[in-house]
Amino acid sequence: MTIPADRLSHPAVRDLVTAINGHDEQAFFAALAPGATMSDDGSDRDLREWCEREIFATRGHMDVQSEADGGLSLVANYRNDTWEEMRTHWQFTIEDGKVSRFETGQA
């Protein structure tokens, strides 16, 4: 069963997932702390480049299947126009109410 983005427990994570699913690049970057970082499958990536390629240019979308750790850990079916759909894990670090780091990879 999918958890709607507006029902996710943590407000910062909720804002980020809502921005991803709405293809709202401005809201996405507004949900991030200054200097935010990320990794994909254990390798640090350039956040802006990765997000453009994996989310915005390819219409990325998260169907959240479960959450844990107070909403900071998600399992989601993630799809985009490049990779189609895959089961992914997302872990978020929050600073001052914004996402300062996220780590994603295949679950």
| Count of domains forming the chain | 1
pTM here? 0.95
List, in sequence order, the alpha helices (H) in 36-96. 47-51
Evaluate the CA torsion angle 107, 20, 12, 40 in order and state its sign. positive
Element housing 76 (H / E):
strand 73-80
CATH of the domain at 99: 3.10.450.50
pLDDT in tens, the chain (107 residues): 899 999 999 999 999 999 999 999 999 999 999 999 999 999 999 999 999 999 999 999 999 999 999 999 999 999 999 988 999 999 999 999 999 999 999 99
Residues 6+ apart with CB under 8 A from 40: 50, 54, 103, 104, 105
Residue-number span of the structural domain to which 95 is assigned: 5-106
Residue 31: phi and psi, rounded to 5, are: -80, -10
